[in-house]
Amino acid sequence: MSEDDLEFSLRVVMLAETWIGTPYRHQASLKGVGCDCLGLVRGVWREIYGQEPELPPAYQPDWAERGVEDRLFDAARRHFGEPLPRTEMRPGDLLLFRWRPDMPAKHAGIACDDARFIHAYEQAAVIRSPFVPSWRRRIAGIFRFPEKV
């Protein structure tokens, strides 16, 4: 990884860390006020690029259980590019998770390092969690924030 790549990756992590403690609020995306997991990613995106590439449609908390369309994964592919192999994960990468292999991706977080990631935890807040095996086996995709949009 080049020095510029490392600097950019660490900037993404630093920005995500400034959201820690933001209360969980479904569909929100305001640092210190409230956000869900997608709102965290949207907020970090805005801090890096200034504007979101698209606004998500309204969604219910159980939206992923209602259909087979993998909307979160598809949006990540549109704006971040193709998913990366797990062996290429680095700090600052977007992580998408599926609760079951046959379901759409429903949760998002940002990798801090090999051992931790930041995400909005339902009924709590934005937190840094250990990257334990139960989280690792649910990875649906790893995406890198583009350096330019």
Residue 67 pLDDT level (bands cut at 50, 70, 90): low
- What is the model's pLDDT at position 2? 85
Which has more confidence, 148 or 24? 24
pTM (predicted TM-score): 0.93
> For 77-116, how does the pLDDT look when each residue is reduced to its tens digit (9 = 90+)?
999 999 999 999 999 999 999 998 888 999 999 999 989 9
CATH number of 3-52+79-143: 3.90.1720.10
- What is the model's pLDDT at position 123? 85
Which helix (DSSP H) or strand (DSSP E) does residue 140 occupy?
Answer: strand 139-143
